[in-house]
């Protein structure tokens, strides 16, 4: 298979008429979701569990095995023994979230560009596993997509040759700033073209998926960069990959665009449900915790368990900002007795108990995990 020569952007093969209805639905679904975000005081903090879950799911499409609970438990206590491969997974997931955080900070100062993508790549691959994949650097060698360990002869896709890379990336970056007829169609093209160019030795899929919230925020289609697609893409990964393949095998951009817009429609509904559920849980918990504790620190305690749904008891004063250890310990005890917090690991020796807030974790996961 010869290295692929990417189509030049903007595309002239988009069948706009065929997509009219989905474009309308996708924009409406996204606008409804954004309306909800706009009603949240600090959406990035409040929705941080969704960001962690996105990092987990997007990394899972790449092959990591770690779950959100494992990541949260590791963060609650990095001294805990974790087996090496699990540790590497967790590290990649935490890097993913760090990269998204960094991107958002940058986007407040400057638009999305290749330079930023390289910075994000450096953060994403800042790990034992990523070290030999040229973090932050575009590739200088030919790469290919194939089953693990297979030679290039068995590749399902061979991205552009290294000497064409900069030209393709330059065209891609210009298109980022192009005034396309519709922003979501533009995003569909941008995301796929990025994965087709495959500019890095690894991490192209994850960076491509990260582009979704970043682009929407940058283009002001979202008021906060908290809209994630990986749940849909993971659930439909075979079609996702087949649609990408059809672009390079048959120049079938319209099939991809249709798939992507459908993903936005469906995932916007799921994300809206999640956010609504989180807002409802927060309000319910507010009155319950005030009632149970009669404490002036009730809201601080609530905010703490929302931002850190798994933690060591001894860290609660720091996480919540509750001033004395005694007050914090009393609050934690009351929350356990009320069944709001669950003991995930009892205290042992000098280590305090590992506590979790199951209702939030289950809500974010969309199923019973804790
Ligand atoms: N035929 C294809 N053409 C372009 N991109 C593809 C194709 N098949 C899969 N991909 C993308 O390539 C990614 C794998 O590339 P890789 O650099 O290992 O990224 P990551 O390490 O983030 O998964 C997949 O997650 C997918 O997004
Ligand atoms: Mg990879």
The answer to whether residues 319 and 359 belong to one domain is yes
Residue 227 lies in a domain: yes
Per-residue model confidence as pLDDT tens digits over 41-74: 999 889 999 999 999 999 999 999 999 999 999 9
The answer to whether residues 210 and 321 belong to one domain is no
Ligand nearest to the CA of 160: 1
Residue nearest to ligand 1 atom 11, measured at CA: 205
User: What is the number of the ligand 1 atom nearest to the C-alpha of 196?
Assistant: 4
* pLDDT of res. 28: 98
Ligand nearest to the CA of 61: 1
Give the residue numbers spanning the domain of 141. 16-273
The answer to whether residues 92 and 231 belong to one domain is yes
The answer to whether residues 211 and 354 belong to one domain is no
Residue nearest to ligand 1 atom 8, measured at CA: 241
Residue nearest to ligand 1 atom 24, measured at CA: 205
Cα separation, 155 vs 142, whole angstroms: 12
Per-residue model confidence as pLDDT tens digits over 322-344: 999 999 999 999 999 999 999 99
Q: Are strands 354-356 and 342-345 parallel, antiparallel or unpaired?
A: antiparallel
* pLDDT of res. 218: 97
* pLDDT of res. 13: 97
Ligand 1 neighbourhood includes 204 CB (under 6 angstroms): yes
Per-residue model confidence as pLDDT tens digits over 270-291: 999 999 999 999 999 999 999 9
Residue 10 lies in a domain: no
The answer to whether residues 39 and 162 belong to one domain is yes
pLDDT band with cut points at 50, 70 and 90 for residue 80: confident
The answer to whether residues 226 and 327 belong to one domain is no
Which is more confident, 148 or 163? 163
**Domain-ending residue, one of 220, 240, 273:** 273
* pLDDT of res. 128: 84
pTM over cut 0.75: yes
The answer to whether residues 241 and 97 belong to one domain is yes
The answer to whether residues 160 and 214 belong to one domain is yes
Per-residue model confidence as pLDDT tens digits over 6-24: 999 999 999 999 999 999 9
Dig out the tokens for 305 from the structure: 């368990």
Average pLDDT over residues 81-105: 96
Ligand 1 neighbourhood includes 203 CB (under 6 angstroms): yes
Per-residue model confidence as pLDDT tens digits over 191-244: 999 999 999 999 999 999 999 999 999 999 999 999 999 999 999 999 999 999
* pLDDT of res. 226: 96
**Percentage of the chain modeled with pLDDT above 90:** 97
Ligand nearest to the CA of 139: 1
**Domain-ending residue, one of 211, 244, 273:** 273
Per-residue model confidence as pLDDT tens digits over 179-190: 999 999 999 999
CATH number, domain of 361, equals 1.10.10.10
264-278: b (≥16 Cβ within 10 Å) or e: bbbbbebbbebbebb
Residue nearest to ligand 1 atom 5, measured at CA: 195
**Domain-ending residue, one of 227, 242, 273:** 273
Ligand 1 neighbourhood includes 202 CB (under 6 angstroms): yes
């Amino acid at each position: 298979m010869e290295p692929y020569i990417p189509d030049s952007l903007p595309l002239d093969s988009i069948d706009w008429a065929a997509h009219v209805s989905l474009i309308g639905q996708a924009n409406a679904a996204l606008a409804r979701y954004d309306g909800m975000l706009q009603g949240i005081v600090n959406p990035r903090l409040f929705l941080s569990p969704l960001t962690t879950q996105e990092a987990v799911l997007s990394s899972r499409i790449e092959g990591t095995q770690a779950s959100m609970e494992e990541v949260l438990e590791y963060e609650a206590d990095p001294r805990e023994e974790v087996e090496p491969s699990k540790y590497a997974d967790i590290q990649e997931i935490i890097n993913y979230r760090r990269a998204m955080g960094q991107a958002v900070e940058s986007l407040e100062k400057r638009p999305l560009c290749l330079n930023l993508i390289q910075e994000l790549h450096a953060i994403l691959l800042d790990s034992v596993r990523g070290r030999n994949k040229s973090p932050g650097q575009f590739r200088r060698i030919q790469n290919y997509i194939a089953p693990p360990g297979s030679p290039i002869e068995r590749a399902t896709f061979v991205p552009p040759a290294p000497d064409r890379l900069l030209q393709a990336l330059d065209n891609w970056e210009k298109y980022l700033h192009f005034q396309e007829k519709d922003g979501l169609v533009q995003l569909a093209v941008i995301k796929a073209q990025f994965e087709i160019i495959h500019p890095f030795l690894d991490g192209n899929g994850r960076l491509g998926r990260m582009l979704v919230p970043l682009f929407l925020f940058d283009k002001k289609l979202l008021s906060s960069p908290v809209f994630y697609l990986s749940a849909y893409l993971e659930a439909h990964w075979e079609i996702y990959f087949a649609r990408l393949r059809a672009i390079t095998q048959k120049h079938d951009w319209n099939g991809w665009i249709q798939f992507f817009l459908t993903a936005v429609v469906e995932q916007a509904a799921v994300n809206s449900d999640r956010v609504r559920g989180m807002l409802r849980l927060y309000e319910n918990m507010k009155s319950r915790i005030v009632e149970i504790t009669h404490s002036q620190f009730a809201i601080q305690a609530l905010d703490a368990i929302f931002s850190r749904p798994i933690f060591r008891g001894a860290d609660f004063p720091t996480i919540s900002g509750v001033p004395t250890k005694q007050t914090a310990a009393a609050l934690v005890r009351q929350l356990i007795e009320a069944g709001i917090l669950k003991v995930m690991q009892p205290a042992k020796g000098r280590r305090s108990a590992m506590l979790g807030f199951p209702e939030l974790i289950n809500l974010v996961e969309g199923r019973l995990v804790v």
